Amino acid sequence: MINDEPVVLTIAGLDPSGGAGIIADIRTFVAFECVPAAALTSITFQNTRGVFGAAHQSADTLRAQIEPILRESNVAAVKTGMLPTAEVVNEVVRFVREAKLPAPVVDPVMNSTSGFQLISHDAFLALKSELLPVARVVTPNIPEAERLTGFRITNPDDMHRAARAVRELGVRAVLLKGGHLSKQSDPAEAIDILDNEGNVTVFRSDWIEGCVLRGTGCTLSSAIAACLGKGMSLEDSVRTAKHYVTAFIRGCSRT
């Protein structure tokens, strides 16, 4: 039987505790009725309390994982997460430029919640200069956007300016997530800004107090990729993905 569900590929790190990384991505793809595929960039050593180390994959092992998937399946959408080294970033760029992979949803993972560095300096420079220009959308949080732009973000006006500045790096669209800012300024509201080729959409939702969740960024970017793989517009993909993550957070806050 031919499965008509779209194949969505995550290229990311493994969190063995399951809260983030490719396990969270796969869980999200299945929830959106997509066929999950995954290529490991790094095996991290972590639990719910922190990251204690990592063993990174080479460009050759990454390519060896992806090529058999492409020989068997038409990949409808791609999401990238932890890309720890420049050679891994450049290998992903080669796949996209060779038109073997769709323009990815890039979650620019830089540090774990506990503060462990998940990307080298050279990899960050490659992500900024090489991967963003071939991406469909990049989904930074406030600290990640501050590193990409080089200026502090302390209010919604700064968020608009930062989203535009990140897009001017060459990426088609930027979803700037305001959760970190919301915790500092107005806890009654969470604001995310989508700058899609200059068309700006502001997403507003209630700030939800509750348990501290890991992997919400992974889940959001994976949900966006799943929706894009099903043929939805970027705006509708972001809106649907946000509703999914909000419901997930609400469910956690009630437990």
pLDDT in tens, the chain (255 residues): 346 899 999 999 999 999 899 999 999 999 999 999 999 999 999 888 888 999 999 999 999 999 999 999 999 999 999 999 999 999 999 999 998 999 999 999 998 877 788 999 999 999 999 999 999 999 999 999 999 999 999 999 999 999 999 999 999 999 999 876 755 555 567 899 999 999 999 998 766 665 556 678 999 999 999 999 999 999 999 999 999 998 877 756 454
Structural domain of 44: 1-135
Domain assignment present for residue 111? The answer is: yes
**Is residue 236, in this structure, part of any structural domain at all?**
no
How far apart are alpha carbons 135 and 132 in whole angstroms?
A: 5
Q: What is the pLDDT of residue 15?
A: 94
Flag whether 115 is in a domain.
Answer: yes
pLDDT, residue 248, reads: 76
C-beta neighbour count of 26 within 10 angstroms: 19
Instruction: Please give the pLDDT value at position 255.
Output: 46
pLDDT of residue 1: 33
CA 201 to CA 241: how far, in whole Å?
15
Establish if 129 belongs to a structural domain. Answer: yes
Record the pTM.
0.93
The span from the CA of 12 to the CA of 249, in Å, is 22
Strand partners, 80: 11, 106
What is the DSSP track for 52-75?
Answer: EEEEEPPHHHHHHHHHHHHHH--E
Residue 182 covered by a domain: no
Residue 240 in any domain: the answer is no
Q: At what angle are helices 21-31 and 216-229 packed, to 10 degrees?
A: 40
Q: Number of structural domains, the chain?
A: 1
Per-residue confidence (pLDDT) for residue 67, from 0 to 100: 97
Contacts with 173 (C-beta within 8 Å, 6 or more apart), sequence order? 136, 137, 138, 167, 194, 195, 196, 197, 234
CATH number at residue 121: 3.40.1190.20
Token digits for 119? 């990307």
Is 18 a member of any domain? yes
Closest CA to 171 of 129, 199, 220, 143: 129
Give the pLDDT of residue 2.
46
Find the angle CA(47)-CA(147)-CA(186) to the nearest 5 degrees. 80
User: Which amino acid belongs to residue 203?
Assistant: F
Give the number of other CB atoms < 10 A from CB of residue 75.
19
- CB-neighbour burial class of residue 30 (10 A; exposed 0-12, middle 13-18, buried 19+): middle
Residue 2 lies in a domain: yes
**Non-local CB neighbours of 229 within 8 Å, separated by 6+ positions:** 6, 7, 8, 34, 76, 77
3-state secondary structure of 165: helix
